[in-house]
Amino acid sequence: MGIKDRLSGNEATAMAMKSMNMDVMAAFPITPSTEIPEQFSQYVANGLTDTVFVPVESEHSAMSACIGSQAAGARSCTATSSNGLALMHEMLHIASAMRLPITMACITRAITGPINIHNDHSDAMSSRDCGWIQIHAEDVQEAYDNYIMSVRIAEHKKVLLPVMICQDGFITSHAVENVELLEEEDIRSFVGFYEPDYYLLNPELKVAMGPYDPPTYLMEHKRQQAEAMIDSLDVIKEIYDEFGKLTGRYYDLIETYKIEDAERIIILLGSSAGTAKIVVDELRSKGEKVGIIKIRSYRPFPGKLIREALKSPKVVAVLDKAEGLSSIGGPVYSDVCAALNGNAGFKIVNYIYGIGGRDVRTDDIHEVFADLQDDIDGKESKAKTAANYRYLALRE
């Protein structure tokens, strides 16, 4: 029943949106996500979907249009990158606070200053506190599968939160890979018909959405949003399992690779996980006990799963493809440390890597594992930055 094809991440995403026959797509082009609305608008023009395509004049408008149409009762989507995501920032908070299950393809790219169009995670990480579920893909297949599952996760009655489906700009978005697509009818029966309980165009039950929330109510509403994010941990797994039964491709909120007896573990997300797995295989063939944990769901943050996966490593490195500029390390590092609640019992170090499209090679991952061995052996780290807050492939 699967259809073998070869597509780039952007093409696969546009294909997923088409197969689901989204009601509305509102988008503004920005590298490297431009191909998604470009390809999707061709599907619309060729009559392959019933979607209303809204070519807006900015990303702020794209998200505003999605909010309006989703509130009206239409399944809405968009795609963006980098500064486009930054321009949406205000509306991202409003979408999640209004509990609108919008889905968005985020093709990760460095946020400009200085100007750069290449991949890192500074755009997604800058949006981590917006109340959006954020799922990262390693490759094209995951990007495609994640998008289809995200609609179900977003619209689940216990969740009702927007979802950002991230893949690495250029690396995944433009690389053509072999993928297995689903039959359109299977996708449509998997996502089903969008039937919200409350929507503006319902003549039977008239509602007002997004009213003023004085100090008497906002805190209660934020707590309610927080509960939805907590509940989404279980809902995501539930939808993943259902998707697994349909496709044979089973996912979890994290993916572990050869960590059972690992003394040195790297935690990371996105396309670099594939590079790291090759290094793990190379080192394992020499008898070295190394492994990786790939975070697929960054929001909600699967702290419990990570805690349980880190059984007895001697040292752990968290790789951040965004410089949080916090003076104590990157955002994923902070989250992992929070998940371990200060009771790790092993050393955790942070590497800032791949900024602005800096290539991440197997040699770089080898260097991290070598550093971690130095940490175990008590040798002084070669890293010039603070002991636990390091840079990878930086010219010193």
Partner 1 sequence: MRQLGDGINAKVTWKEITLAGIVTDGGKSKDFETGDWRNSKPVWLAENCKQCLICTAFCPDSSIPVKDKKRVDFEYKHCKGCGICEKVCPFNAIEMKGEEE
Residue 234 tokens read as 């279980």
Sign of CA dihedral 268, 32, 5, 50: positive
Q: Considering the complex, what minimum distance in angstroms separates the CB of residue 198 from partner 1?
A: 5
d(CA 381, CA 327): 19
d(CA 152, CA 163): 10
Cis status of the peptide bond prior to 215, with omega within 30 of 0: no
Determine if 250 is a binding residue for partner 1 (CB under 8 A).
no
Determine if 58 is a binding residue for partner 1 (CB under 8 A).
no
* DSSP letter assigned to residue 229: H
Determine if 384 is a binding residue for partner 1 (CB under 8 A).
no
Residues contacting residue 301 through CB under 8 Å, at least 6 positions apart: 295, 335, 339
Determine if 157 is a binding residue for partner 1 (CB under 8 A).
yes
Q: Which residue number, 207 or 278, has a Cβ lying nearer to partner 1?
A: 207
Q: Considering the complex, what minimum distance in angstroms separates the CB of residue 196 from partner 1?
A: 10
Q: Which residue number, 206 or 384, has a Cβ lying nearer to partner 1?
A: 206
Residues contacting residue 165 through CB under 8 Å, at least 6 positions apart: 13, 103, 104, 105, 106, 135, 137, 143, 146, 147, 150
Strand-pair partners of 166: 106, 136
Q: Which residue number, 218 or 387, has a Cβ lying nearer to partner 1?
A: 218
Q: Which residue number, 158 or 382, has a Cβ lying nearer to partner 1?
A: 158
Q: Which residue number, 85 or 100, has a Cβ lying nearer to partner 1?
A: 100
Q: Which residue number, 32 or 196, has a Cβ lying nearer to partner 1?
A: 196
Q: Considering the complex, what minimum distance in angstroms separates the CB of residue 74 from partner 1?
A: 17
Residues contacting residue 60 through CB under 8 Å, at least 6 positions apart: 87, 88, 90, 91
Determine if 207 is a binding residue for partner 1 (CB under 8 A).
yes
Determine if 216 is a binding residue for partner 1 (CB under 8 A).
yes
Q: Which residue number, 6 or 157, has a Cβ lying nearer to partner 1?
A: 157
Residues 78-137 within binding reach of partner 1 (CB under 8 A)? 97-99
Residue 315 tokens read as 């040292």
Determine if 227 is a binding residue for partner 1 (CB under 8 A).
yes
Residue from 195, 203, 204, 223 in contact with partner 1 (CB under 8 A) = 223
Q: Considering the complex, what minimum distance in angstroms separates the CB of residue 225 from partner 1?
A: 8
Alpha-carbon torsion, ordered 272, 277, 283, 284, to 10 deg: 160
Q: Considering the complex, what minimum distance in angstroms separates the CB of residue 178 from partner 1?
A: 42
Q: Considering the complex, what minimum distance in angstroms separates the CB of residue 216 from partner 1?
A: 5
Stretch of 30-38, 197-205, 281-289, 311-319 lying at the interface with partner 1 (CB under 8 A): 197-205
Q: Which residue number, 223 or 245, has a Cβ lying nearer to partner 1?
A: 223
Determine if 204 is a binding residue for partner 1 (CB under 8 A).
no
Chain centre to alpha carbon of residue 86: 16
Give the count of beta carbons closer than 10 Å to the beta carbon of residue 298: 23
d(CA 291, CA 280): 6
CA distances from 343 to 47, 310, 319, 337, 346 (A): 57, 12, 20, 9, 9
Residues 286-315 within binding reach of partner 1 (CB under 8 A)? none
Determine if 219 is a binding residue for partner 1 (CB under 8 A).
yes
Determine if 230 is a binding residue for partner 1 (CB under 8 A).
no
Q: Which residue number, 204 or 396, has a Cβ lying nearer to partner 1?
A: 204
Q: Which residue number, 228 or 383, has a Cβ lying nearer to partner 1?
A: 228
Stretch of 29-37, 199-207, 279-287, 317-325 lying at the interface with partner 1 (CB under 8 A): 199-207
d(CA 150, CA 141): 14
Q: Are 146 and 135 in contact (CB under 8 A)?
A: yes
Alpha helices in 20-121 (DSSP H): 35-45, 59-72, 82-97
Residue from 224, 250, 359, 361 in contact with partner 1 (CB under 8 A) = 224
Determine if 6 is a binding residue for partner 1 (CB under 8 A).
no
Q: Which residues bind partner 1 (CB under 8 A)?
A: 97-99, 157, 160, 197-198, 205-211, 213, 216-217, 219-221, 223-224, 227
